[in-house]
DNA sequence: CTGAAAGCGCTTACAG
DNA sequence: CTGAAAGCGCTTACAG
């Protein structure tokens, strides 16, 4: 391996001068710089980043925990975070936790001490019990996309999920729906609360029995829950799905039960991926500011690397928006006939 | 920061002994080890991985390039690779290239010299022109999921895409389809060739005009191509989609044109994600051995770190399988009536 | 603007 | 089984 020392000898300078040329931190006389650059090119010198990291104390790498990359929402978050990091000259170390706290714990242990400059944790699922571990960690931690109760002591950039649920509920109320069902992941209690609040404000109760939890956050799990929901109460005129995968399942369930969307059934979703790669182009959905959230989280983390954030800033709540699609309409004539 | 030296002083030994305890490389007398472990616990010592990397020459991190994590196929590959790496005590540095060779080049430059022990490149899209750059790289590179012509000098673990296309074609032929169209990504020429070969073997030509390229590998791009395909030749009884996102688009197009699947139109896909998170639970598809491919690629890469693979092993071709679903059937009565 | 020195925190032979 | 020494390849003040 070619080292700085080799370059220095070739150029007839000391390695400190080579370092000055490479890092650009200190000005170097043009003639010297040219000699050094020529030597670098001739020898094919490439700086050893690990040695630099040891000397500077920075790896220029940030860790990201997400539950999975197979859910469109998190796939987008990963790419947004990667973009933001790349622009700032950082690498991305990815860990998927698969809703498994023990797995997250192992990953965290592997990241101990100085292998990343900071850690971003997107999504609270399966992690809340393991938060105390984060206190021992040597680098700043920023939480995002956090729906569980917000822990103290960590910077958080997240979405107002209650508001998101409320937007979905109000949309259905404005269309005139009264009897609705909810398809939810167990972790999405806050969105469900917001949704029910919208109905409550109009004097309508969405009963507990109308909330159907998907056993697993998969298409299959969602499909079963959706079929159950529509069979339990065939008179519902609309379905609220708390995330994108469940929404796809809801569409499929409607098809299976021969209810056309939106004529026979409205479907509104949370976490829609409107320009994504999936088949939900026309879904009415609450879209989350993924890009904004990712960038703010990255900025906060990089800032915390150089300047400890004392005191910890309060949580930043970004507002979701409702994007109208063609999956919702006024309740159809079938409403109440069954 | 607590160092090995601090622990050594506390335990009344030298730091080499602490190192021996931590790495377990050299046996240490039980009594000494107990003292060292106690000191580690008391001081909350955590080894500095960067320093270790500099001393050992290994970062225990492997880079992975994928075009995107938003396509189900690559999302699965990322998680499989991550699992294989984690089992072997390695971290995953992720770079998404977004079909952008320039972006890949930048990422590659950032990985120079010793920041990863090895690099896995999954998916050839947008990269073939940049392969020469890989020759300069300081760590082993393994290619996988490679459909473009195989470059010399790199270990490759990929799928027999021609065979995959042939499987899809033969399936449709066995059902009796004669007039078909293909929905393809520009990069998927090999699968298309295999598909056409299946028809050619039966004396049927799939004309060039029946192959519709999606402008972009997105749902929207696929939908446009699918609508064009079905409008250009309404008499086709089956559609072959060369990857999962296009298949989802084909289903949507069928729906939009009021052709029910499989009665009015069969759809067979390549790269299906049967147990994935998407709405294609019942699609007939050619499934790729993602898990097997990912593990073999990881094994090859880790092996190459310690023992240079000389000469470079020949490409490993894994065989895809056709999984029957409910999206294909014999051509319906509509066939030829238009 | 350039050079000599110390140091980042670990591991690795090598003696004892 | 334990200790003294050298080294991994860089950066960072600090003199000159």
Nearest nucleotide relative to B27: CA against C1': D1
User: B175-189, pLDDT tens digit by residue?
Assistant: 999 999 999 999 999
Query: Per DSSP, what are the bridge partners of residue B94?
Result: B64
pLDDT of res. A331: 94
| Residue B281 banded pLDDT, cuts 50, 70, 90 | low
Instruction: For chain B, say whether A264 makes contact (Cβ under 8 Å).
Output: no
Instruction: For chain A, say whether B142 makes contact (Cβ under 8 Å).
Output: no
Distance CA B93 to C1' D12 in A: 29
Nearest-CA distance A93 → chain B (Å): 4
Chain A positions touching B81 (Cβ under 8 A) are none
Nearest nucleotide relative to B16: CA against C1': D3
* B279 closest CB neighbour out of A86, A106, A249: A249
pLDDT of res. A113: 65
Query: Phi/psi at A225 (nearest 5 deg)?
Result: -65, -40
Assess whether the region A4-47 and the region A61-160+289-319 belong to the same CATH fold. no
Q: Which residue of B has its CA nearest to A55?
A: B51
* Residue B279 pLDDT greater than 70, yes or no: no
| Residue B273 banded pLDDT, cuts 50, 70, 90 | low
Tokens of A45: 């010198």
Nucleotides of D under 7 A from a protein CB: 1-5, 7-13
- B238, B169 Cβ separation under 8 angstroms: no
pLDDT of res. B168: 97
* Residue B278 pLDDT greater than 70, yes or no: no
Instruction: For chain B, say whether A94 makes contact (Cβ under 8 Å).
Output: yes
- B206, B183 Cβ separation under 8 angstroms: no
CB of residue A54 closer than 7 A to nucleic acid strand C? yes
pLDDT of res. A209: 96
Do residue A53 and residue B50 have CB atoms under 8 angstroms apart?
A: yes
- Looking up tokens 């009897």 gives A179
What mean pLDDT comes out for the span B251-266? Answer: 90
CB of residue A50 closer than 7 A to nucleic acid strand C? no
More confident residue, B255 or A94: A94
* Residue A213 pLDDT greater than 80, yes or no: yes
**Which of B178, B186, B145, B183 has the alpha carbon at shortest distance from B292?**
B145
User: A111-166, pLDDT tens digit by residue?
Assistant: 876 689 999 999 987 787 888 888 878 899 999 999 999 888 899 999 999 999 99
Q: Domain limits of chain A?
A: 4-47, 61-160+289-319, 161-288
When the candidates are 3.40.50.2300, 3.30.300.30, 3.30.56.10, 3.80.10.10, the CATH number that belongs to B161-287 is 3.40.50.2300
When the candidates are 3.40.50.2300, 1.10.275.10, 3.40.50.410, 3.40.50.1370, the CATH number that belongs to A161-288 is 3.40.50.2300
| Residue A276 banded pLDDT, cuts 50, 70, 90 | very low
- Say whether domain B61-160+289-320 belongs to CATH 3.40.50.2300: yes
* Residue B167 pLDDT greater than 60, yes or no: yes
Q: Which of residues 97-116 of B touch A (CB under 8 A)?
A: 98, 106-107, 110-115
Q: Which residue of A has its CA nearest to B83?
A: A96
Query: Phi/psi at A274 (nearest 5 deg)?
Result: -60, -40
User: B60-83, pLDDT tens digit by residue?
Assistant: 999 999 999 988 899 999 999 999
CB of residue A266 closer than 7 A to nucleic acid strand C? no
Nucleotides of C under 7 A from a protein CB: 1-5, 7-13
| DSSP summary character for residue B208 | G
Domain A61-160+289-319: CATH class, spelled out: alpha beta
Instruction: For chain A, say whether B155 makes contact (Cβ under 8 Å).
Output: no
Do residue A245 and residue B115 have CB atoms under 8 angstroms apart?
A: no
What mean pLDDT comes out for the span A257-274? Answer: 87
Half-sphere exposure of A225 toward its Cβ, with a 13 Å CA cutoff? Answer: 30
User: B286-303, pLDDT tens digit by residue?
Assistant: 999 999 999 999 999 999
Chain B positions touching A249 (Cβ under 8 A) are 279
Q: Domain B4-47, what fold?
A: 434 Repressor (Amino-terminal Domain) (1.10.260)
Alpha-carbon gap, residue B80 to B38, rounded angstroms? 38
- A304, B98 Cβ separation under 8 angstroms: no
């Amino acid at each position: 391996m070619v080292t700085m020392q080799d370059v220095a000898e070739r150029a007839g300078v000391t390695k400190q001068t080579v370092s000055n040329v490479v890092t650009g931190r200190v000005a170097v006389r043009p003639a010297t710089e040219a000699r050094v650059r020529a030597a670098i090119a001739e020898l094919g010198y490439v700086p050893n980043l690990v040695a630099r990291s040891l000397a500077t104390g920075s790896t220029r790498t940030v860790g990201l925990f997400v539950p999975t990359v197979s859910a469109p929402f998190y796939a987008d978050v990963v790419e947004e975070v990667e973009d933001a990091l790349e622009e700032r000259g950082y690498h991305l170390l990815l860990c998927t936790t698969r809703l498994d706290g023990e797995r997250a714990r192992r990953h965290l242990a592997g990241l101990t001490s100085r292998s990343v400059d900071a850690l971003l944790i997107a999504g609270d699922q399966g992690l809340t019990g393991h938060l105390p571990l984060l206190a021992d960690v040597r680098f700043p931690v920023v939480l995002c996309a956090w729906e569980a109760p917000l822990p103290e002591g960590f910077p958080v950039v997240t979405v107002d999920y209650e508001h998101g649920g409320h937007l979905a509920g109000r949309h259905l109320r404005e269309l005139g729906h009264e009897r609705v069902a909810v398809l939810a992941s167990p972790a999405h209690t806050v969105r469900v609360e917001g949704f029910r609040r919208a109905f409550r404000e109009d004097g309508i109760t969405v009963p507990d029995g109308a909330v159907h939890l998907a056993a697993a956050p998969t298409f299959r799990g969602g499909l079963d829950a959706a079929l159950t929901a529509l069979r339990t109460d065939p008179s519902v005129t609309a379905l609220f799905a708390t995330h994108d995968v469940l929404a796809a399942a809801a569409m499929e369930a409607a098809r299976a039960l021969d209810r056309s969307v939106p004529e026979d059934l409205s479907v509104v979703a949370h976490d829609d991926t409107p320009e994504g790669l999936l088949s939900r182009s026309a879904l009415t959905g609450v879209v989350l500011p993924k890009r904004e959230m990712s960038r703010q989280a990255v900025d906060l983390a990089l800032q915390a690397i150089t300047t400890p954030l004392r005191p910890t800033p309060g949580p930043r709540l970004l507002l979701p928006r409702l994007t109208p699609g063609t999956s919702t309409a006024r309740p159809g004539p079938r409403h109440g006939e069954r």
